[in-house]
A and B are shown apart, each in its own frame.
Chain A
Amino acid sequence: SQTIHQWPATLVQPVGSPLSLECTVEGTSNPNLYWYRQAAGRGLQLLFYSVGIGQISSEVPQNLSASRPQDRQFILSSKKLLLSDSGFYLCAWRPGGRTQYFGPGTRLTVL
């Protein structure tokens, strides 16, 4: 069966510091991968998606970037965090149909 992992689970970072969040998927190959951000009490905002290694599409211009160095690894990064980057970051994968399956999320607080 397929499993999606995210780490860290919780992160508190000062403004201006760098960020690296990691997502890995087990039990499948060449998945479509997604990064979402969810603000408190809000829906999901799509940040990036990837259909393969090195192939990244950005949905929202922002302070963040994404990379896919390996088939089942998706990384979300920032060089300098802003207060507005705080939120719940979710990684998801899509096996091939329409449905997406989510990881446990990373709660990021920027102070």
Chain B
Amino acid sequence: QKEVEQDPGPLSVPEGAIVSLNCTYSNSAFQYFMWYRQYSRKGPELLMYTYSSGNKEDGRFTAQVDKSSKYISLFIRDSQPSDSATYLCAMSADSNYQLIWGAGTKLIIKP
């Protein structure tokens, strides 16, 4: 079993819809959670960073961490065609600076 599981998709939704992207993990020591967005043939860019549990909002994006369920989510409101990309989750524990990565979910927003 991988430490971090992420559905590869593709997930196709119409423009304006609310998108929910998710990752599950097995290591209860993970405390730092990140979401990256990667456009085709580009390097990943950091979208959201959360420490421990709770929600964090930034514009149309909300990151949610549920440590009891070992489950993290990224919500995108009012989705736009420009949101079409691969979304990668990453996480790490207190004891180690290395990031453990999900495989990424490919998101397609249809105009």
Contact = CB atoms under 8 A, between A and B. Distances in A.
Contacts of A44: 44, 88, 101
Interface string B6-34: 10100000000000000000000000101
A90 B41 CA distance: 11
Contact of A99 (B41, B42, B46, B98): B46
Contacts of A32: 97
Interface string A92-109: 101000111111110100
B32 A103 contact: no
Interface in B96-111: 97-99, 101-104, 106
Contacts of A101: 46
B59 to A, nearest CB: 18
Contacts of B45: 102
Tell me the interface secondary structure of chain A in the complex: strand
B92 interface: yes
Contact of B43 (A41, A42, A99, A102): A102
Contacts, number: 48
Contacts of B99: 46, 98, 100
Contacts of B92: 98
Nearest to A45: B101
A61 interface: no
A43 interface: yes
Contacts of A105: 41-43
Contacts of B6: 43
A99 to B, nearest CB: 6
B44 A98 contact: no
A12 B98 CA distance: 30
Contact of A104 (B43, B102, B106): B43
A74 interface: no
Interface of A: 32, 41-44, 46, 49, 88, 90, 92, 94, 98-105, 107
8 contacts: A41-B8, A41-B106, A42-B104, A43-B104, A99-B34, A101-B46, A102-B43, A103-B43
